[in-house]
């Protein structure tokens, strides 16, 4: 749309869906050479691509570690990064718990938690924490686990290595005193959706993005403490605030360091016309139709001084 030729390099483990996407676009009759596909390990071809003199702009979605490497390599090349997140759901004492539970469960466990915008921790007011956990437990237990072919909600993770990573976070939390509400069952790759209560700041799952079906509950005495813990993270992609008092919700939203804050809703990509961005280690630049076209365009200004030129007839 911005008049550029594009080279698309899908993630190695997700290459099949990327290939299908390019095949579908090719079937629309795009001119040959306008859209190209390259597959392979980023560690092998990534540097070559981003350092090639024919590349004028880079847009990357993936891990913070890879994004930081790209930013070091792509000197003087415009760069948009959409990276990881540790998206908090802040639950106030006056929150509508039915709305809150519905959004937290779908936000945390859809796609098995393999979304940068998944709910990855809950910061709940002490006064309603017991009630919230009591409502979350049956909602999590109702999620089905298995093959996506059978329309299950929680499906196998992208790899055994990813499942091991999530399991290690669960094991670390339990060893340090977290309470297992439900889950922590594993058969090979698939992990049962796991809910952990009484998670504290010394536990890895409080800070590390799991990219899997585990949700830590952190109890806080005040909204100020919730904001402090939310902002202590190196990430700042999205956040949710659940409250019935709008002024309080907006105050919290203003205090949280995040690209987007949802009030009484789960974090998500949103409509394409919305700006989509992260701060801190969650990204650089802004996506969305309007912003993406701007970032993939090169502005140029021509100033005509009419007194010193001939105007044609």
How far apart, in whole angstroms, are the C-alpha atoms of residue 238 and residue 150? Answer: 31
How far apart, in whole angstroms, are the C-alpha atoms of residue 121 and residue 235? Answer: 12
How far apart, in whole angstroms, are the C-alpha atoms of residue 252 and residue 169? Answer: 28
Sheet holding 283-284, edge to edge: 58-61, 79-82, 283-284
Locate all alpha helices (DSSP H) within the chain, ordered by sequence.
15-26, 42-51, 64-73, 97-109, 126-141, 160-175, 223-232, 246-255, 289-295
Q: Which of 78, 133, 138, 111 is nearest to 267 (CA)?
A: 111
Identify the residue whose tokens are 């940068």: 116
How far apart, in whole angstroms, are the C-alpha atoms of residue 229 and residue 181? Answer: 22
Specify the long-range contacts of residues 14-21, CB closer than 8 Å, at least 24 apart.
14/158, 15/39
299 is catalytic: no
92 is catalytic: no
Q: Which of 82, 92, 209, 268 is catalytic?
A: 82
Q: Which of 58, 108, 103, 106 is nearest to 87 (CA)?
A: 108
How far apart, in whole angstroms, are the C-alpha atoms of residue 30 and residue 40? Answer: 24
Q: Which of 92, 116, 209, 268 is catalytic?
A: 116
Active site members: 82, 116
């Amino acid at each position: 749309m911005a008049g550029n030729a594009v080279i698309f390099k899908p993630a190695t483990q997700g290459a099949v869906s990327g290939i299908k996407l390019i095949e579908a676009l090719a079937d629309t009759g795009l001119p040959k050479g306008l859209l190209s596909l390259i597959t392979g390990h980023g560690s092998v071809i990534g540097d070559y691509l981003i350092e090639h003199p024919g590349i004028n702009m880079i847009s990357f979605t993936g891990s913070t570690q890879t994004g930081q490497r790209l930013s070091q390599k792509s000197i003087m090349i415009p760069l948009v990064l959409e990276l990881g997140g540790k998206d908090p759901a802040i639950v106030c004492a006056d929150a509508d718990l039915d709305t809150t539970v519905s959004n937290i469960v779908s936000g945390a466990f859809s796609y098995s938690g393999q979304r940068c915008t998944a709910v990855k921790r809950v910061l709940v007011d002490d006064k309603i924490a017991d009630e919230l956990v009591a409502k979350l437990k049956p909602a999590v237990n109702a999620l089905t686990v298995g093959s996506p072919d059978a329309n299950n909600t929680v499906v196998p993770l992208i790899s055994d290595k990813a499942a091991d990573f999530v399991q290690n976070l669960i094991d670390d939390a339990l060893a340090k005193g977290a309470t297992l509400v439900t889950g922590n069952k594993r058969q090979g790759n698939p992990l049962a959706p796991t809910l952990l209560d009484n998670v504290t700041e010394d536990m890895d799952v409080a800070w590390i993005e799991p990219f899997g079906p585990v949700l830590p509950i952190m109890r806080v005495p005040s909204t100020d403490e919730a904001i402090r813990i939310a902002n202590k993270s190196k990430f700042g992609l999205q956040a949710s605030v659940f409250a019935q008092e709008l002024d309080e919700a907006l105050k919290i939203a203003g205090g949280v360091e995040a690209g987007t804050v949802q009030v009484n809703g789960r974090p998500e990509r949103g409509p394409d016309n919305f700006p989509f961005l992260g701060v801190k280690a969650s990204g650089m630049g802004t996506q969305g139709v309007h912003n993406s076209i701007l970032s993939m365009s090169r502005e140029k200004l021509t100033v005509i001084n009419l007194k010193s030129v001939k105007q044609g007839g």
